A and B are shown apart, each in its own frame.
Chain A
Amino acid sequence: MSAFTSSPCSAHTKKTLKNILKNYQLYIFLIPALVYIIIFHYGPMYGVQLAFKNFIATKGITGSPWVGFKQFNRFFSSANFWRVIKNTVTINLYSLCVNFPVPIIFALMLNNVAHKRFKSFVQTVTYAPHFISTVVLVSMMLVFLSPRSGFINIILKNYFGMEPIFFMAKNELFKTIYVFSGLWQNMGWAAIIYIAALTGIDRELHEAAVVDGANKIQRIIHIDIPGIMPTMVTLLILNMGSIMNVGFEKVFLMQNSLNLEASETISTYVYKVGLVGADFSYSTAVGLFNSVINFIMLLITNQLSKKVTEVGLF
């Protein structure tokens, strides 16, 4: 401590140090969180070197030999490369095209409901599926879409005389089922933020427009939509940033050997080659490739967001 006091530029350092000492309890508060994040998030980042190694269990992460970009080259030249990239990107784009605009439309519709009780009833119902677990959601899909006993096939058979369709085994239907089950689950929840933005719009604008003879549709187009535009742009950009980042759980649970052509994404592939196939280094390399692309996408969209809306994540 005396070393600090004797040095010429010590006044500032001393004050900072005093401040730290005064608030030492606040640092104690941070210890559990920091220990956790360092072990379970930065620890794996240290383990990412596996991607450039050939993992040998007995030698551990540090002791395994370096192999450079061999694992990456394996991935780029593998038959799975284009398939998993294509599926990851198309599932996300498809999902974005449906799950981005629909909650906005839903929020606009709900905003035009005058009856308070009806409005809150619709909200309560539409938010609920958000809390259903992925396992339950996919179980429901399997049960409903079952070719033998699912009620959808029963209706198709009894009322339309159609042959049962094995929905979950069809490559061409996989993405549609994925996207629209996602819509069913999250439409209401995703609309919350827009509903909040809509209630923030000045009522006088609407009153003035009514006096000028504008109908509801005109008011939606000229008042509501411009009013929530910043929210829309920010969320769109954020969604674009995660275009290569498909949630593992639902795809994995919906996947079966018959729809693999359409359902194999980067994250399920990482799981499969890594934990099922025990090819640790290769799996880490594929995962790292995905993380890096995600990170780059995020940086690009963050810059874009700052330019367009002056709102950035960092």
Chain B
Amino acid sequence: MNKSKKISIFNVDTIFDIVNHAILILIVISILYPLYFIVIASISNPVMVSSGQVLFWPRGINFEGYKAIFKDRIIVSGYKNSLVYMVLGTSINMIVTIPAAYSLSRKDLVGKDAIMFIFAFTMFFSGGLIPTYLIVRNLGMINSIWAMVIPNAMSVYNLIISRTFFRTNIPYELLEASQIEGCSNIRFFVTIALPLSKALLAVIALFYGVSHWNAFFNAMIYLNKEELYPIQLVLRNILLENQARQEMMKDLVENLSTAEQRAELIKYGMIIVASVPVLMMYPFAQKFFIKGVMIGAIKG
């Protein structure tokens, strides 16, 4: 009796394990394959790609696509712009978010609930697209780098994560002790609170950095000079509107179908080029991102 029960448990669990692992492997393949395909397609002969001969490994390996990409003025400037917007934007984000979050984490801050409400309310209600656009326009930010970094100078979500972190990780006793020593708030923040919060600073900077790199909407509505476009907007214009750049088309006009295939090839390379910075830092940053989600999950 007991024995047969054990055997049946063993069977159900074994089947479960097999099915479970099989499905998980399928999930992994279904996530990796599209990414892998883009990589092999970007270095394969475009004719072979579009006729379906490239499915598992690259064929007719060449780097023509990448050459065309890096020759293009707008793509290169888009890349530089994105880096500038990301670095400048993230710096502004940190300067605005972190001190405010620290301040709000302090129990002895008079009016902290009211101030927090001012911030939190904007998460649930917004003036909308047009009123925001008009503000940015009236401030004269259209077609300037500031339109890319000021209208999104802070995310209230990141403010709350940071506040929660400070609240749970900076012991109040530490503050009291240093206040007895005559330590000012600014000095305590800079010399004690910040060094204790390196993980948080990494999480928040990464969240902001990725969001700047991936953003295209603000650029689309606030910028109309191509030389200011970030890479995502350049990618969108090339891929989604099929506006292959003029200078790229110049040497391909002899044969329209080659031109089309060349555009196809550029597509794959562009997708990679536009994702590389984020995907490169991902393996190192993964644990920080997860940490961020965890801190966010604790209700502040």
A-side interface residues toward B, CB under 8 Å? 16, 19-20, 23, 25-30, 32-34, 36-37, 39-48, 50, 61, 106, 109-110, 112-113, 118, 121-122, 124-129, 131-136, 138-140, 142-144, 148-149, 151, 154-155, 157-158, 184, 187-189, 192-193, 196, 213-217, 248-249, 253, 270-271, 274-275, 280, 283-284, 287-288, 290-291, 294-295, 298, 311, 314
11 contacts between A and B (CB under 8 A): A50-B130, A106-B27, A125-B31, A127-B289, A129-B35, A132-B278, A135-B233, A139-B240, A143-B264, A149-B49, A270-B128
B31, B51, B268 — most chain A CB neighbours (10 Å): B31
CA distance A34 to B218 in the complex (A): 21
Q: Are A113 and B38 in contact (CB under 8 A)?
A: no
Q: Are B289 and A44 in contact (CB under 8 A)?
A: no
The reply to whether the CB of B34 lies closer than 8 angstroms to some CB of chain A is yes
Nearest first, the 8 closest Cβ-Cβ pairs linking A and B are: A44-B127, A47-B131, A287-B128, A133-B214, A154-B52, A149-B50, A33-B100, A44-B131
**CB nearest neighbor in B for A302:** B124
Picked from B9, B35, B109, B150, the residue with its CB within 8 Å of the CB of A213 is: B9
Instruction: State which of B16-24, B60-68, B197-205 sits at the interface with chain A.
Output: B16-24
Q: Are A184 and B135 in contact (CB under 8 A)?
A: no
Output the least CB separation between B197 and chain A (Å). Answer: 14
CA distance A295 to B129 in the complex (A): 16
**CB nearest neighbor in A for B122:** A41
Instruction: State which of B69-77, B112-120, B243-251 sits at the interface with chain A.
Output: B112-120
**CB nearest neighbor in A for B38:** A140
Picked from B34, B103, B217, the residue with its CB within 8 Å of the CB of A140 is: B34
Q: Binding site of A, secondary structure by majority: helix, strand, loop or mixed?
A: helix
Q: Are A29 and B100 in contact (CB under 8 A)?
A: yes
Q: Are A133 and B274 in contact (CB under 8 A)?
A: yes
Q: Give B201-236 as 1s and 0s: 1 = Cβ < 8 Å from A's Cβ atoms.
A: 000000000100111110001000000000011011
Picked from B51, B122, B134, the residue with its CB within 8 Å of the CB of A47 is: B134
The reply to whether the CB of B108 lies closer than 8 angstroms to some CB of chain A is yes
**CB nearest neighbor in B for A275:** B221
CA distance A113 to B24 in the complex (A): 10
Q: How many residues of B contact A (CB 8 A)?
A: 96
Picked from A37, A148, A249, A283, the residue with its CB within 8 Å of the CB of B50 is: A148
The reply to whether the CB of B267 lies closer than 8 angstroms to some CB of chain A is yes
A42, A133, A155, A298 — most chain B CB neighbours (10 Å): A133
CA distance A196 to B109 in the complex (A): 32
Output the least CB separation between B61 and chain A (Å). Answer: 18
| Residues of B with C-beta under 8 A to A33 | 96-97, 99-100, 119, 154, 159
CA distance A34 to B13 in the complex (A): 56
| Residues of A with C-beta under 8 A to B153 | 32, 36, 40
A47, A122, A187 — most chain B CB neighbours (10 Å): A47
Q: Are B214 and A134 in contact (CB under 8 A)?
A: yes
